Structure 1
Amino acid sequence: MIEAMRALVPALLLSLSGPLSAQEAVPAPAAGAVQQAAPQPQPVVAPAPAPLPWTAATARETLAEVQAASKEGLNPADYAPAALEAALASGDEAAIAVAAEASWMALAKDYAAGRTPIEARIGWKSPPPRSDVEWLRAKLADGLAAGTAGETLRGLLPAHPHYRVLRAALPAATAPADSARIRANMDRWRWMPRQMGERHLFANVPGYTVDLVDGGVPVARHKIIVGARKTPTPQFSAVATAITINPPWLLPKSIVDESVGALIRRSPSAARARGYRWTATADGLQVMQMPGNRNSLGTLKIEMPNPYAIFFHDTPAKHLFNGQDLALSHGCMRTQGILGLALRLLEEVPEWDAARIDATAATNVTTGIDLPQQVPVHVGYFTVVPAKGGTVQVLPDVYGRDAAVIEALSRR
């Protein structure tokens, strides 16, 4: 048994570090040269990591943390508690070190970046927080040196207040379905950046809201219209850099193909009256909607460069905010009261007050205002959120994404 335990850590480290890189290609021999048999590639063996100073006490502390993983919505059995218990019972110091490190590292990886595999994180485009083997093992070494192996593990968990509320609500969830959804949303928080920014924007797609958070406290909340089910808003992080007044709209090809292209071909004059201007290219029509009272972006846009062309913007169809189902857009986030949000972001630029923005908007001239400080933006997908009195609220699973996470967390 001890020999098997000693194999745990190298195998674990190899599995966490990913596939080994291919060997360099052997150059082709020169013309006329006598060819020799190509050397056989030698297997690459990962060096065994240097042993760390485990003791029975720190191993028991790790075992206690594993057994408490259920409080974080995880299954303790996934972190080899039986192997660690057997090693402790044997009294063999080497076996204890191997088993304890294997359990610690496996739990640390899930605490740091979530247990759900990447393929089950549908629509989640942000890279997971850092959880590579070298970084985690350095954390472990520091924890063992300081005698804080358990505290170091817990320090990898999200410190966000929403996570703490979900964690407190988990024991009170008596229905299996409720418990499963809380656990899924706790894991989603483990996918989020640990440092979201002293001042940041946090949009929650199922909640149809965006919060401006300052010093850890939400100071403004705005209702948003998010992507429809066939054009969902992705989850990612970006940085807000500027406010654009009277933004022109470069239409995505999907919208041109779906509707606007047909309007242009059927009635060019009607298309021009709606502000569309177009150019024929090899890939089809390239269409721009010019600023004006019919522009789909309205009068304001918050610039946040990202690969998905997603941003917050105004809308002329403000009556849509009165509905219950706000999954209506092509992916961008139409924002109710966006002028108020823009003024919050421009607090350090007092010359741009509401009157000046309104006057500029009336000109239909596109005008950009750089933010004095860039503001991180995080777009998440959370179907269980804090409510008043420390309780939680269950939101509609707009895009049907809970099932994949719940299933992944139930797998062994």
Structure 2
Amino acid sequence: MEATPVVQQVAPLVQVWSVGDAKALLGVIASIGSEGLNPKDYNPDALSAAIAAGPGDTLNQTASQAFQWLVEDLRDGRTPMDDRKQWFVVDPDPDLYPTGEIMADALASHNIAGALKALNPTKPDYARLRDALAETTDPARRKLIKANMDRWRWLPRDLGQQYLLTNVPEYQLRLTVNNKIISTYKTIVGKPGRTATPQLAETVEGVIFNPTWTVPQSIVKGEGLGAKVLNNPGWAKAAGYKGWKDPKTGFVTVVQQPGANNSLGLMKLDMPNPHAIFLHDTPSRNLFNRDQRALSHGCIRTERAQELAITLAILGNLANTPETRKAAADEAVAISTSGKYTRVPIEKQMPVYITYFTMGVDINGKLRAFSDIYGRDAPVLASFDKPRVANRARKTDEKVVEIIDDLQT
């Protein structure tokens, strides 16, 4: 006998509201400016009229819709997907915190304000931005703060127990474990234009020590590297290149072998994604001394990359005891100095978030603005001057730009 499938009940988006709960909702709307949102987006006048008319269908419909829109904006962000340029993160929060269930819990507990407040991003950076919003009357600064508060809402509310987060305009990477930033690293990011680094949320599946680099055909064929490697074997060996031609097709493949001059340096993070974006080392470490570091072909070059790789290899060990941590550290050091291509799998989940905040808390704890190196602020700022968009897409329809080159500058 087949088991009867369990059908999960979905709480409706229109529910029964009392006048008291609706008045509490109206109070939240009146104060929502403190969260960087516009009270007018949630039809306070219509809600006031429905409250005056008393309980019934009109109050239920009006209050439910206002609550739904508040949930969507606080949980997911107000900015439409079309205005989030090169934003390829799909936020899981609408599935984890369904609107109807939040509404049902809020009405059952008669705690409308608390249910909505619980949707705010939990990272201290968001609170710092909110405090800054309350302290300034400068219109341009207020708009920039609101835009970056919203960017926190675009991300998952729970980033994980351990994760990497890099802020592209800041040229910095942070490693966070148990809500504490344990290390920061300077980064080099993509040049503006076609090679600008996109915003992603991916998972590190492994650390590759002493990586090889398969040279893209735009260089092998387009820049003549293939012919140079095949015709000058002495030069190719000194430069660390191996090349071969398919006798049937004539297709030339060139792979740069592990070594100090490898374009990927001494490590890369294996984080599969359709953009072919990853974090890696670089032999041109002097570039980390520059203030402006939008220099790569899209991938993110990382300062002190071997230290990062060894740390991740240790954190990725499932049997995380002092003894196993030491063994993992010793093994990682031996692998990293072996000169041999080695992939170390990451067993524990390690998300990596490639973000784009133009105002935030820097690595010294100061709230400041960062240069909008890719011009991604303008559409976000403009969206706040337009009416709220309902029924917003959760996924961008922007084209994925695959980054194929990462030559050293």
Q: Normalised by the size of structure 2, how large is the TM-score?
A: 0.81
The 5-angstrom pairing of residues 203-214 of structure 1 reads 203-214=166-177
| Corresponding position: 1:195 with 2:158 | yes
CA drift at 1:53: 2.6
CA drift at 1:94: 2.6
CA drift at 1:286: 4.3
Structure 1 distance, partners of 2:364, 2:134, is: 16
Corresponding residue for 2:283? 316
| Corresponding position: 1:233 with 2:208 | no
Corresponding residue for 2:326? 350
CA drift at 1:120: 0.8
Does structure 1 conserve the Cα–Cα contact (< 8 Å) formed by 2:13 and 2:99? no
Corresponding residue for 1:144? 107
- Once superposed, what is the RMSD of the aligned Cα atoms? 2.7
Does structure 2 conserve the Cα–Cα contact (< 8 Å) formed by 1:240 and 1:377? yes
Does structure 2 conserve the Cα–Cα contact (< 8 Å) formed by 1:251 and 1:288? yes
Does structure 1 conserve the Cα–Cα contact (< 8 Å) formed by 2:360 and 2:369? yes
Match of 2:304 among 337, 350, 354: 337
| Corresponding position: 1:364 with 2:329 | no
| SS of aligned partner of 1:174 | coil
> What are the Cα deviations for residues 348-393 of structure 1, in whole angstroms up to 9, with x where unaligned?
5423447x65654554321122234231111111111125997521
Does structure 1 conserve the Cα–Cα contact (< 8 Å) formed by 2:229 and 2:241? no
| Corresponding position: 1:298 with 2:265 | yes
Cα distance change of structure 1 residues 251 and 409 upon mapping to structure 2, 3 Å threshold: farther
Structure 1 distance, partners of 2:252, 2:152, is: 41
Cα distance change of structure 1 residues 380 and 262 upon mapping to structure 2, 3 Å threshold: same
Does structure 2 conserve the Cα–Cα contact (< 8 Å) formed by 1:112 and 1:129? no
> What are the Cα deviations for residues 281-324 of structure 1, in whole angstroms up to 9, with x where unaligned?
87965442221222111111222222222222111101000111
| SS of aligned partner of 1:297 | coil
The 5-angstrom pairing of residues 148-159 of structure 1 reads 148-159=111-122
Structure 2: which amino acid aligns with 1:74?
Answer: L
Structure 1 distance, partners of 2:97, 2:119, is: 15
Segment of structure 1 superposing worse, 335-344 or 123-132: 123-132
Match of 2:127 among 164, 172, 176: 164
Cα distance change of structure 1 residues 224 and 131 upon mapping to structure 2, 3 Å threshold: same
Structure 2: which amino acid aligns with 1:242?
Answer: G
The 5-angstrom pairing of residues 96-135 of structure 1 reads 96-131=59-94, 135=98
Match of 1:263 among 225, 246, 251: 225
Structure 1 distance, partners of 2:221, 2:36, is: 45
CA drift at 1:226: 0.9
Match of 1:242 among 189, 206, 209: 206
Structure 2 distance, partners of 1:349, 1:74, is: 46
Match of 1:400 among 368, 375, 378: 375
Instruction: State the identity as a percent.
Output: 37
| Corresponding position: 1:276 with 2:241 | yes
| SS of aligned partner of 1:131 | helix
Structure 2: which amino acid aligns with 1:218?
Answer: I
| Corresponding position: 1:325 with 2:288 | no
Structure 2: which amino acid aligns with 1:393?
Answer: R
> What are the Cα deviations for residues 7-52 of structure 1, in whole angstroms up to 9, with x where unaligned?
xxxxxxxxxxxxxxxxxxxxxxxxxxxxxxxxxxxxxxxxxx5852
Structure 2 distance, partners of 1:341, 1:283, is: 40
Gaps of 5+ in 1: 1-48
Which structure is richer in relative contact order (CA contacts within 8 A, separation 6 or more)?
2
Q: Normalised by the size of structure 1, how large is the TM-score?
A: 0.80
Structure 1 distance, partners of 2:146, 2:91, is: 18
Cα distance change of structure 1 residues 134 and 215 upon mapping to structure 2, 3 Å threshold: closer
Structure 2 distance, partners of 1:387, 1:293, is: 31
Does structure 2 conserve the Cα–Cα contact (< 8 Å) formed by 1:248 and 1:290? yes
CA drift at 1:272: 5.3
Corresponding residue for 1:377? 352
Structure 2 distance, partners of 1:406, 1:290, is: 46
Gaps of 5+ in 2: 1-11, 315-323, 388-409
Match of 1:55 among 18, 21, 24: 18
Corresponding residue for 1:91? 54
| SS of aligned partner of 1:193 | coil
CA drift at 1:113: 0.5
Structure 1 distance, partners of 2:15, 2:117, is: 20
Structure 2: which amino acid aligns with 1:331?
Answer: G
Structure 2 distance, partners of 1:404, 1:303, is: 32
